[in-house]
Amino acid sequence: MNRLALVLSAAAVLLTGGCGGSPLSSPTTAASEPVPSAAPPTAALATVAAGTVTVTQEGKAPPNTLWYLRIEDTTAKPLLEQAYPGQPISVTRALPPGVYRVIVWHRPCTGDCPTTGEDGLGPLGQVCGAKLDLTSGAKLQATAQIKTDGGCAIKVAV
Protein backbone atom coordinates (compact mmCIF):
# COMPACT_ATOMS: atom_id res chain seq x y z
CA MET A 1 0.00 0.00 0.00
CA ASN A 2 1.26 3.43 -0.76
CA ARG A 3 1.18 6.31 1.69
CA LEU A 4 -2.50 6.64 1.22
CA ALA A 5 -3.92 4.75 4.10
CA LEU A 6 -7.61 4.71 3.43
CA VAL A 7 -9.74 6.57 0.98
CA LEU A 8 -13.24 5.40 0.37
CA SER A 9 -15.03 6.96 -2.52
CA ALA A 10 -17.76 9.46 -1.94
CA ALA A 11 -19.96 7.46 -4.20
CA ALA A 12 -19.66 4.48 -1.95
CA VAL A 13 -20.37 6.70 1.01
CA LEU A 14 -23.63 7.72 -0.55
CA LEU A 15 -24.77 4.16 -0.55
CA THR A 16 -23.77 3.21 2.93
CA GLY A 17 -26.65 2.55 5.25
CA GLY A 18 -26.54 2.70 9.02
CA CYS A 19 -23.47 2.08 11.05
CA GLY A 20 -21.44 -0.90 10.22
CA GLY A 21 -18.46 -2.44 11.87
CA SER A 22 -15.93 -1.09 14.20
CA PRO A 23 -13.77 1.95 13.69
CA LEU A 24 -10.73 1.31 11.60
CA SER A 25 -7.86 -0.02 13.60
CA SER A 26 -5.23 2.00 11.84
CA PRO A 27 -5.08 3.91 8.62
CA THR A 28 -2.07 1.89 7.61
CA THR A 29 -3.63 -1.47 8.23
CA ALA A 30 -7.24 -1.16 7.26
CA ALA A 31 -7.04 0.44 3.89
CA SER A 32 -8.64 -2.30 1.94
CA GLU A 33 -11.94 -2.62 3.77
CA PRO A 34 -14.61 -1.71 1.25
CA VAL A 35 -17.81 0.07 2.06
CA PRO A 36 -20.73 -2.18 1.12
CA SER A 37 -22.74 -0.93 -1.79
CA ALA A 38 -26.34 -1.72 -2.57
CA ALA A 39 -26.55 -0.11 -5.98
CA PRO A 40 -24.30 1.49 -8.56
CA PRO A 41 -22.97 4.86 -7.40
CA THR A 42 -24.65 6.70 -10.22
CA ALA A 43 -28.07 5.64 -9.01
CA ALA A 44 -27.55 7.29 -5.65
CA LEU A 45 -25.88 10.34 -7.10
CA ALA A 46 -28.93 10.93 -9.20
CA THR A 47 -31.18 11.17 -6.17
CA VAL A 48 -28.98 12.96 -3.64
CA ALA A 49 -27.59 16.44 -4.11
CA ALA A 50 -24.16 16.12 -2.65
CA GLY A 51 -22.25 18.85 -0.92
CA THR A 52 -18.52 19.26 -0.93
CA VAL A 53 -16.09 19.21 1.94
CA THR A 54 -12.59 20.54 1.42
CA VAL A 55 -9.96 20.12 4.10
CA THR A 56 -6.69 21.99 3.89
CA GLN A 57 -3.82 22.74 6.22
CA GLU A 58 -2.71 26.04 7.66
CA GLY A 59 0.67 26.19 9.33
CA LYS A 60 3.69 23.99 9.00
CA ALA A 61 3.76 20.67 10.77
CA PRO A 62 6.61 20.12 13.23
CA PRO A 63 9.43 18.05 11.81
CA ASN A 64 9.24 14.29 12.20
CA THR A 65 5.51 14.14 12.70
CA LEU A 66 3.06 12.19 10.60
CA TRP A 67 -0.38 13.73 10.25
CA TYR A 68 -3.65 11.98 9.60
CA LEU A 69 -7.06 13.11 8.45
CA ARG A 70 -10.36 11.34 9.01
CA ILE A 71 -13.88 12.29 8.05
CA GLU A 72 -16.49 10.27 9.92
CA ASP A 73 -20.25 10.28 10.12
CA THR A 74 -22.40 10.71 13.22
CA THR A 75 -22.01 7.03 14.06
CA ALA A 76 -18.24 7.55 14.09
CA LYS A 77 -17.91 5.46 10.96
CA PRO A 78 -14.84 6.60 9.03
CA LEU A 79 -15.70 7.66 5.50
CA LEU A 80 -12.20 8.75 4.62
CA GLU A 81 -8.93 8.24 6.43
CA GLN A 82 -5.60 9.22 5.07
CA ALA A 83 -2.02 9.87 6.15
CA TYR A 84 0.05 12.76 4.82
CA PRO A 85 3.73 11.93 5.12
CA GLY A 86 5.80 14.92 4.12
CA GLN A 87 2.96 16.85 2.61
CA PRO A 88 0.21 19.13 3.84
CA ILE A 89 -3.29 17.90 4.45
CA SER A 90 -5.42 18.49 1.39
CA VAL A 91 -8.52 16.71 0.21
CA THR A 92 -11.89 17.46 -1.33
CA ARG A 93 -14.78 15.04 -1.13
CA ALA A 94 -18.38 15.10 -2.28
CA LEU A 95 -20.66 13.84 0.45
CA PRO A 96 -24.42 13.59 0.88
CA PRO A 97 -26.02 16.21 3.10
CA GLY A 98 -25.57 15.39 6.75
CA VAL A 99 -23.48 15.90 9.83
CA TYR A 100 -19.86 14.86 9.77
CA ARG A 101 -16.79 15.26 11.88
CA VAL A 102 -13.36 16.14 10.58
CA ILE A 103 -10.56 14.80 12.75
CA VAL A 104 -6.86 15.46 12.44
CA TRP A 105 -4.10 13.95 14.56
CA HIS A 106 -0.43 13.26 14.48
CA ARG A 107 2.17 10.79 15.67
CA PRO A 108 5.86 11.54 16.15
CA CYS A 109 8.33 9.66 13.97
CA THR A 110 11.76 8.35 14.71
CA GLY A 111 13.65 10.01 11.90
CA ASP A 112 11.80 10.17 8.63
CA CYS A 113 8.16 9.26 8.85
CA PRO A 114 7.23 5.98 7.19
CA THR A 115 5.08 6.03 4.09
CA THR A 116 3.53 2.73 5.07
CA GLY A 117 3.21 0.68 8.21
CA GLU A 118 3.81 1.84 11.75
CA ASP A 119 7.53 1.28 12.14
CA GLY A 120 9.13 4.29 13.76
CA LEU A 121 5.84 5.86 14.73
CA GLY A 122 5.31 7.06 18.27
CA PRO A 123 2.13 7.40 20.32
CA LEU A 124 -0.81 9.60 19.49
CA GLY A 125 0.15 13.24 19.66
CA GLN A 126 -2.37 16.02 19.47
CA VAL A 127 -5.81 15.31 18.07
CA CYS A 128 -8.41 17.85 17.06
CA GLY A 129 -11.81 17.71 15.47
CA ALA A 130 -14.84 19.72 14.48
CA LYS A 131 -18.38 19.01 13.37
CA LEU A 132 -19.57 19.86 9.88
CA ASP A 133 -23.21 20.34 8.98
CA LEU A 134 -23.26 19.83 5.25
CA THR A 135 -26.37 20.91 3.42
CA SER A 136 -27.36 19.99 -0.09
CA GLY A 137 -25.05 21.59 -2.61
CA ALA A 138 -23.02 23.41 0.04
CA LYS A 139 -19.27 23.76 -0.12
CA LEU A 140 -17.64 23.60 3.29
CA GLN A 141 -14.06 24.48 3.96
CA ALA A 142 -12.34 22.99 6.98
CA THR A 143 -8.88 24.22 7.80
CA ALA A 144 -6.56 22.23 10.00
CA GLN A 145 -4.59 24.87 11.86
CA ILE A 146 -1.34 23.24 12.86
CA LYS A 147 1.04 24.89 15.28
CA THR A 148 4.77 24.47 15.51
CA ASP A 149 4.41 22.70 18.86
CA GLY A 150 2.11 20.07 17.34
CA GLY A 151 -1.10 21.59 18.63
CA CYS A 152 -3.99 21.79 16.23
CA ALA A 153 -7.50 23.09 15.77
CA ILE A 154 -10.10 22.78 13.03
CA LYS A 155 -11.70 25.92 11.67
CA VAL A 156 -14.84 25.50 9.57
CA ALA A 157 -16.17 28.02 7.07
CA VAL A 158 -18.93 27.83 4.49
Binding site for another protein (CB under 8 A): 19-26, 72, 75-77, 101, 103, 105, 107, 118, 121, 123-124, 126-131, 151-154
Q: H-type helices in the chain, by residue range?
A: 10-14, 41-47
29: how many CB neighbours lie within 10 A of its CB? 15
CB of 130 to another protein, least distance (A): 5
Report the C-alpha gap between 107 and 81 in whole angstroms. 15
Minimum distance from residue 95 beta carbon to another protein (Å): 17
Minimum CB distance to another protein smaller for 93 or for 107:
107
Q: Least distance (Å) from another protein to the CB of residue 92?
A: 21
E-assigned strands of 39-126? 51-58, 65-73, 78-84, 90-95, 98-108
Q: Judged by CB, which is closer to another protein: 93, or 101?
A: 101
d(CA 5, CA 82): 5
Q: Which is nearer to another protein, 111 or 123 (CB)?
A: 123
Q: Which is nearer to another protein, 134 or 146 (CB)?
A: 146
- Cβ neighbours of residue 126 closer than 8 Å, sequence gap 6 or more: 105, 106, 150, 151, 152
| Least distance between another protein and beta carbon 19 (Å) | 5
